[in-house]
Chain A
């Protein structure tokens, strides 16, 4: 499937600008790396070993996300293999943007992402790709027997996954696992930014992708340090509100804002009724306190304001409406 409007904007490197190393790969394995110098070599060897029997041409894209520990030198020496490509980003932009860099430069029809810290097992890649071929757009890894710290990583992750599942209704049990297989068309429809890599399943579902998950292996970290801690919890909460808002009301923000205005409208009307009641029953002397009408007017003001904000959002949307990425994904039934 070709999305005419979207394709030219995504900076896929044309075959002419990259020296052709072998035939065009059908599978691209993308690994973002941030200060993982010790892990690069084992990772590449492991992936190559895992894909040794893979029947089609493939490529490995290593994205150095502004590391300061010599990761790029390791990537460069790994790229001596014609199947390995390296991208060095100008600054540390975070996992999502680093993954996007890899995706934008991947040439395969099938793209697999995994962590650069050896915690995912490349031996799971062929199974994920096979699952994708059963007719899915996204296959998520589901880490079995997670080898991470309980209190700092596993408990927050368990809570976050429950919350994401409840809020989005997408029945994926492990949103945080980087080991995933995607169909290229799907990635072109969900341009990731900020820290959205956690929400890939929910975002994919919102554009109509067919999603499944399968158990994958998980290993303890051997070299280097984890880049995550508990501090991200608050940010994830704000991001979740955004996600819910965007996936639900992306094409009709006015409806979303109007729904949010309803409670304020209700409160405002209750206060107004209280004021009228006190006016008719106790006379103007008592009702003249102005607190009830004041609070009522404030609440009504909020309702009005939210409605207007919804209109602003519609204005923002209308300038982008008709964008091909807004058409839901569908597949032919045969």
Chain B
């Protein structure tokens, strides 16, 4: 796991944020997962912008199993040691690619970029300047959006569903262009498909996350149509995120609530049946008895699951801290 178990940083930066954004080493992590433009072009376009800044930088392309690096890109790594390619032997997905990239990078600042032109390369300065102003993580908000109304509507639905769980409202979490301090990158709990929630995750870890409007690249604005399976997976992602955000420390509060609803329903139904039985009506032939027992059984099972969750949380407690020290005197 890339994320350290302890969220404390004994060496809280005393150097001040401005110096970091001006002098720190920059690592650009590019997960190459599904869609990829000409990566040499991506490197040249963004590299040209970074050349204008005083910092040194490196590029890490992390290829998921399915995609093969082009010969031109491989040639580039030979002539330029600040460009590196990492490749998974099989498909692990974007979250794993990001995590590997962060682990293998050296930068004090980590920039994540998609493998295609999502924003105008000049926009990178807006992000870095915002880090210079003191943010721990800066995410791009593609604006103005050039996408079709369908994609914009989907995006809005996604963000309004997430909005309830997070303290701060984000507008473009699907945008892969982000800049963050190394401490943030390493503290992110990146697994599964959680890369879609990176700004919200950083916020939960106690970091300051800013959103800046960055002009969208015209090449990004194509109509995207997804199959029903994709929507189902998004909904599951959102459900997982909600659960993790609210109940990771207290699973029984969730399972106990749902479980006790079943228990109450089962108890009430059983009581009614009992009274009817005493009253002289036969209940042996009625499925209502089965339903009552089923409710009770479900309630007990949910409570039991919640308790196992609590045991796991309890066992992990010595290794975990929920807080992060931002500043000390």
Closest to A321 in B: B315
Quick check: A89 and B329 within 8 Å, CB to CB?
Answer: no
Given A104-B321, A191-B318, A305-B304, also A91-B297 (CB < 8 A): no
Given contacts A17-B10, A89-B324, A301-B297, contact A316 B329 (CB under 8 A): no
Which chain A positions have C-beta within 8 A of B315? Answer: 316-317, 319-320, 323
**B residues in contact with A334, CB < 8 Å:** none
Give me the 5 closest cross-chain CB pairs, A-B, nearest first.
A90-B206, A91-B206, A79-B329, A97-B322, A86-B329
Contact residue among A9, A191, A298, A319 (Cβ-Cβ distance under 8 Å from B293): A298
Query: Can you give 30 A-B contacts (C-beta < 8 A)?
Result: A11-B8, A72-B327, A85-B328, A85-B329, A86-B328, A86-B329, A89-B323, A89-B325, A89-B326, A94-B322, A101-B325, A191-B317, A191-B318, A193-B249, A193-B317, A194-B313, A239-B250, A241-B252, A241-B256, A242-B307, A245-B310, A264-B300, A291-B285, A291-B289, A294-B293, A302-B297, A305-B304, A309-B308, A313-B307, A313-B311
State the CA gap A59–B197 with chains docked (Å).
40
Interface of B is mostly: helix
Interface string of A236-257 (1 = CB under 8 A from B): 0011011001100010010001
> Is A44 an interface residue, CB under 8 A from the partner?
no
Contact indicator B308/A316 (Cβ below 8 Å): yes
| Per-residue interface assignment for chain A, residues 263 to 280, with 1 indicating a CB less than 8 Å from any chain B CB and 0 otherwise | 010010000000000100
Expressed in whole angstroms, the minimum distance between the Cβ of B217 and any Cβ of chain A is 33
Instruction: Give, as a whole number of angstroms, the nearest-CB distance from B2 to chain A.
Output: 18
Encode B4-23 as 1/0 by CB contact (under 8 A) with A.
01101011000000000000
Contact between B284 and A242 (Cβ–Cβ < 8 Å)? no
**A residues near B320, Cβ cutoff 8 Å:** 191, 193
Closest approach, in angstroms, between the C-beta of B251 and any C-beta of chain A? 9
In the complex where A291-B289, A305-B301 touch, is A245 in contact with B10 (Cβ < 8 A)?
no
A100 at the interface (CB under 8 A from B): yes
Q: Which B residues are CB-close (under 8 A) to A6? A: 318
> Shortest Cβ distance from B307 into chain A, in angstroms?
5
Task: List chain A residues, Cβ under 8 A from B323.
Answer: 89-90, 93, 97-98, 100-101
Q: Specify which of A242, A246, A309, A323 is in contact with B304 (CB 8 Å cutoff).
A: A309
Does B272 sit at the interface, judged by CB under 8 A? no
Q: Which of chain A's residues 65-81 have a Cβ closer than 8 Å to chain B?
A: 66, 72, 75-76, 79
- Chain A CB count within 10 A is highest, among B5, B310, B316, for B310
For A129, list chain B residues within 8 Å (CB): none
Query: Which residues of A sit under 8 angstroms from B304, Cβ to Cβ?
Result: 257, 260, 305-306, 309
Q: How far is the CB of B177 from chain A (nearest CB, A)?
A: 23
* A:277-334 near B, CB below 8 Å: 278, 289, 291-292, 294-295, 298-299, 301-302, 305-306, 309, 312-313, 316-317, 319-320, 323, 325
**Nearest CB on B from A324, distance (A):** 9
Minimum CB–CB distance from A10 to chain B (whole Å) comes to 8
- B-chain residues with CB within 8 Å of residue A242 when the two chains form the complex: 250, 252, 307, 310, 314
Chain B residue numbers with a CB within 8 Å of A94 are 322
Q: Hey, which chain A residues are within 8 Å of B256, CB to CB? A: 238, 241
Residues of B within 8 Å of A105, CB to CB, are 325, 328
Cβ A91 vs Cβ B328 within 8 A:
no
Whether A66 lies near B206 (C-beta < 8 A) is: yes
- A100 pairs with B301, CB closer than 8 A: no
Nearest residue, chain B, Cβ from A302: B297
In the bound complex, CA of A91 to CA of B250 (Å): 19
Does residue B41 face the partner (Cβ distance < 8 Å to A)?
Answer: no
Neighbouring A residues of B311 by C-beta, 8 Å: 245-246, 250, 253, 313, 316-317
Say whether A250 contacts B6, CB under 8 Å: no
B293 touches A299 (CB 8 A): yes
